[in-house]
């Protein structure tokens, strides 16, 4: 058996409240010994911190997610900065831009996003990015702020867009969507990509794998993501596991 790190899991959310210990035990039994758990909004920071403090292998990141724009206030940005200074998270995030979901003010999204990028740069932390229908805008913001590193989680863009992120030194996170045979473009990107930029993720409880539609996703499923990628690349799953674990440890400075 090989060891894996789930680089993006919302293991703190209410969907896991009823059976979190069991889900954690299943993940560990499957070899998924560590998870990076990014925040989505200010009111979840305490729960996230306490959960990660109480369980080995759970690493928090703090940030304000664009889909939860209605919950954020400018004061939350100041509080976020205090949390980063005090708690020393492994990253800033989840933050980014979402131009797919309607009704999210674009300018407001940009303000929250760019301030979080600046915080990441000033605190020398990686960023965990959410980008939907906004890859070019996200890349432009990374360039504008400069001196950043991180991951574009659940990447779903084109080959050219992937290239653009690698050139900026960014990783791409790949999860459940890769297990769908119809994901031709994504599969092509992952088949050919440099392994040094690949991270594995589940995005639990979202993005269930093929064959599990309609069910809650959980970190133990990361093994299937790894196997699918290994198959696509004609590689040994242990090789993919080893390389992506190293990438994740390096990016988030996990010991």
**Binding residues vs Zn ion (CB under 5 A):** 94
Instruction: Closer to Zn ion by CB, 126 or 237: give it.
Output: 126
What are the residue ranges of helices labelled H in 55-208?
74-87, 106-122, 135-145, 159-167, 184-192
Instruction: Closer to Zn ion by CB, 94 or 224: give it.
Output: 94
Cβ atoms within 10 Å, residue 162:
22
Question: CB 146 → Zn ion: shortest distance, Å?
Answer: 25
Question: CB 207 → Zn ion: shortest distance, Å?
Answer: 9
Report which residue's Cβ sits closest to Zn ion: 94
Asked if residue 205 has a cis previous peptide bond (ω within 30° of 0), the answer is yes
Q: Assess contact for 130 and 94: CB atoms under 8 A.
A: yes
Q: Is 90 helix (H, G, I), strand (E, B) or coil?
A: coil
Question: CB 94 → Zn ion: shortest distance, Å?
Answer: 5
Question: CB 226 → Zn ion: shortest distance, Å?
Answer: 19
Q: Assess contact for 113 and 149: CB atoms under 8 A.
A: no
Instruction: Closer to Zn ion by CB, 109 or 237: give it.
Output: 109
Instruction: Closer to Zn ion by CB, 94 or 218: give it.
Output: 94
Question: CB 77 → Zn ion: shortest distance, Å?
Answer: 19
Q: Assess contact for 197 and 166: CB atoms under 8 A.
A: yes
Instruction: Closer to Zn ion by CB, 66 or 237: give it.
Output: 66
Question: CB 128 → Zn ion: shortest distance, Å?
Answer: 8
**186-215 core/surface letters (b: 16 or more CB in 10 A; e: else):** bbebbeebeeebbbbbbbbbbbbbeeeeee
Rg of the chain in Å (alpha carbons): 17
Backbone angles phi, psi at 241, to 5 degrees: -60, -45
SS3 content of the chain, % helix, strand, coil (to 5): 50, 15, 35
Instruction: Closer to Zn ion by CB, 20 or 233: give it.
Output: 20
Instruction: Closer to Zn ion by CB, 208 or 237: give it.
Output: 208
Question: CB 239 → Zn ion: shortest distance, Å?
Answer: 27
């Amino acid at each position: 058996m090989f060891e894996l790190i789930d680089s993006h899991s919302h293991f703190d959310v209410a969907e896991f409240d009823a059976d979190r210990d069991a889900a954690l035990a299943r993940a560990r039994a499957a070899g998924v010994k560590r998870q990076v758990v990014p925040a989505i909004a200010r009111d979840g920071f305490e729960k996230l911190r306490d959960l990660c403090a109480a369980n080995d292998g759970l690493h928090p990141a703090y940030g304000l997610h664009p889909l939860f724009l209605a919950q954020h206030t400018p004061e939350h940005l100041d509080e976020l900065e205090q949390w980063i200074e005090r708690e020393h998270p492994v990253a800033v995030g989840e933050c980014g831009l979402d131009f797919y979901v309607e009704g999210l003010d674009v300018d407001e999204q940009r303000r929250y996003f760019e301030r979080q990028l600046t915080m990441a740069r000033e605190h020398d932390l990686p960023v965990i990015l959410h980008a939907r229908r906004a890859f070019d805008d996200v890349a432009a913001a990374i360039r504008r702020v400069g001196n950043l590193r991180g991951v574009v989680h659940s990447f779903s863009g084109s080959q050219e867009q992937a290239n653009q992120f690698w050139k900026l030194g960014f990783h791409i996170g790949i999860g459940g969507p890769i297990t769908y045979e119809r994901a031709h473009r994504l599969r092509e990107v992952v088949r050919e990509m440099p392994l040094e930029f690949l991270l594995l993720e589940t995005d639990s409880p979202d993005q269930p794998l093929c064959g599990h539609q309609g069910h809650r996703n959980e970190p133990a499923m990361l093994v299937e993501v790894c196997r699918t990628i290994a198959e696509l690349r004609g590689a040994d799953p242990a090789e993919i596991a080893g390389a992506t674990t190293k990438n994740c440890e390096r990016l988030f400075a996990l010991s």
